[in-house]
Amino acid sequence: MSEEKLGQQYLAALHQAFPGVVLDEAWQTKDQLTITVKVNYLPEVVEFLYYQQGGWLSVLFGNDERQLCGHYAVYYVLSMEQGTKCWITVRVEVDANKLEFPSVTPRVPAAVWGEREVRDMYGLIPVGLPDERRLVLPDDWPDELYPLRKDSMDYRQRPAPTTDAETYEFINELGDKKNNVVPIGPLHVTSDEPGHFRLFVDGENIIDADYRLFYVHRGMEKLAETRMGYNEVTFLSDRVCGICGFAHSTAYTTSVENAMGIQVPERAQMIRAILLEVERLHSHLLNLGLACHFTGFDSGFMQFFRVRETSMKMAEILTGGAQNLRTEPDRRDSPRSAQRGHDPDPSTGAADAS
């Protein structure tokens, strides 16, 4: 790769602080670096990048790589913000027989959800994880069935329930048994999707709260890897969210292009930038309006949604409706009506945002 690699100072700092710990380093793009480290040093390395080097833990996930290297792998993706902005992914290989790796959560609490998800989906055990409750899987899911293992199950499979009882325990860390419990959900008029909240109260004071989500987990990752080709997944990523679908499709398509070494033409980049900006406008206006609504300021809610309608019309002019991004060349430009700023003419068709 001839481009200047960003984030070299972080890599140098890691080698200095942890000599001999980095086993492999690979640049996906000029600002995306993946390092494989010794599994026993995982918490220290992530803690160092997080606190000492100004990284933010963006996401962590597991992967079944037994067909590639005989191991599972866990990835911690950090967005480096303190100096040079780039992405550093810390990768560890997990023994396929022991299935254990040291938990990062005691050092970086932000890792707790990701490690609980890895435990649910792959059966990998984060040793030292302070919260071992299920995160994604329901109470009646079989104990030894881990959905994202390559050899575990097909997307169409629906295992028989193992219990009718609710076994999930809500935790009151800051209070005591004398606190009253106020349940909210799983279905509530103010919730965007099902979520079960437990408030632990002392009189009028809320002492602590706990919650459980993922009631409508759709298994999209399993669906994509078992029933779709790489060029079909964009139709799925576009439906991760009905409001911000283009951002998800852009993320997926960019990852495929980076993996395949595809250089995106400038024209395609410009079209994507325009559509992403339109999506950003209507998304921000949506959330500003909802913030007003949730605080009882419905006049502000209606005004923000009135302004938002303009950005929605812009999206309709540019795309004719739903936006879809593909890993294929552009076949059509934006419609001439959009270039002139006029209302869309149905006869011109929609732009292909690939």
Known binding residue 244? Answer is yes
* Beta-carbon-side half-sphere exposure of residue 63 (alpha carbons within 13 Å): 14
Alpha helices by DSSP H, 123-211:
none
Neighbours of 260 (CB within 10 A): 9
- 3-state class (DSSP) for residue 186: coil
CA quadruple 248, 253, 258, 260: dihedral, nearest 10: 150
Which residue stretches of the chain are H helix? Answer: 8-17, 42-47, 66-69, 112-122, 220-227, 233-237, 245-260, 266-294, 298-319, 336-340
CA-CA distances (angstroms) from residue 151 to 64, 93, 148, 154, 156?
Answer: 9, 18, 8, 8, 14
Angle between helices 245-260 and 266-294 (to 10 degrees): 150
Structure tokens of 229?
């080709």
Nearest to 138 by CA among 186, 90, 188, 205: 186
292 is in an annotated binding site: no
CA distance 46 to 52: 10
Binding-site positions for Ni(2+) read: 241, 244
Binding-site positions read: 221, 241, 244
Binding-site positions for Fe cation read: 244
Binding-site positions for Mg(2+) read: 221
